[in-house]
Amino acid sequence: MKTLLSIIAIATTAFLLSSTASAQVLDVVTCTGSSTVTYDPAVTNTSELHTVEFTVEATSCPGYEGKVPGNYTFTAQAEFSCTDLYAIPQHTNTFNWADGSYTDVQWNLTTVTRVNGNVNITSAGTVTGGFGLSSLPGVLDTTAVSTVLHPELNLTACAGSGVSQSSGTSLLTLTGTF
């Protein structure tokens, strides 16, 4: 009886391991495009509260051409000036795809850094609904990373009437089992 139980346990473990391994093949979607950030009021050298609207548009997703264009918009408020880096709070938004589908993302961490004359805004989060939702939720969630790269705000404009808009590039990557 002990041998039979051992054989059943080994067979069950082998089955579970092979099922889990095959389910953990990662899908990766990488989309490039553009981004626009608007500031209201225009950003100057004086720190004040601004409404900041981010719009990201994916125009190329190799292997997923039917999804593009896709976009999302996110609005937040932050106090900053042209010389400050602003913090972006945790937030949820929906990426709307050209084929009528969507991807909901809970962005958990956003960093804003200055690198070689550019402002790099990188957000990391988890897909919580729609296209890209993990086939193993809670076990292997689909991650989302959004990187937006814009030139530094024009300091001459910052000293005058301010900067009301900035444009740059975007990169969105979804990695998971979906």
Task: Give the rounded percent of residues in the chain with a pLDDT score beyond 70.
Answer: 87
Confidence of residue 19 (pLDDT cuts 50, 70, 90): very low
Confidence of residue 16 (pLDDT cuts 50, 70, 90): very low
Task: Give every CB contact of residue 170 below 8 A, 6+ residues apart in sequence.
Answer: 32, 33, 34, 35, 56, 57, 58, 146, 147, 148, 149
pLDDT at 94: 96
End-to-end CA, the chain: 41
Inform me whether the pLDDT recorded for 44 exceeds 80: yes
Half-sphere exposure of 18 (CA within 13 A, CB side): 6
Confidence of residue 12 (pLDDT cuts 50, 70, 90): very low
pLDDT at 130: 95
Inform me whether the pLDDT recorded for 100 exceeds 50: yes
Q: Indicate the Cα dihedral angle 53, 58, 64, 66, nearest 10°.
A: 90
Q: Where are the domains of the chain?
A: 25-176
pLDDT in tens, 113-139: 988 899 999 999 999 999 999 888 878
Report which DSSP code applies to 151: E
Mean pLDDT over 154-170 rounds to: 96
Average pLDDT, rounded, for the chain: 86
Mean pLDDT over 79-93 rounds to: 87
Q: Cβ distance 68 to 31 under 8 Å?
A: yes
Confidence of residue 157 (pLDDT cuts 50, 70, 90): very high
Which of 58, 51, 47 lies closest to 88, judged by CA?
51
pLDDT at 1: 44
Inform me whether the pLDDT recorded for 11 exceeds 70: no
Asked if residue 69 has a cis previous peptide bond (ω within 30° of 0), the answer is yes
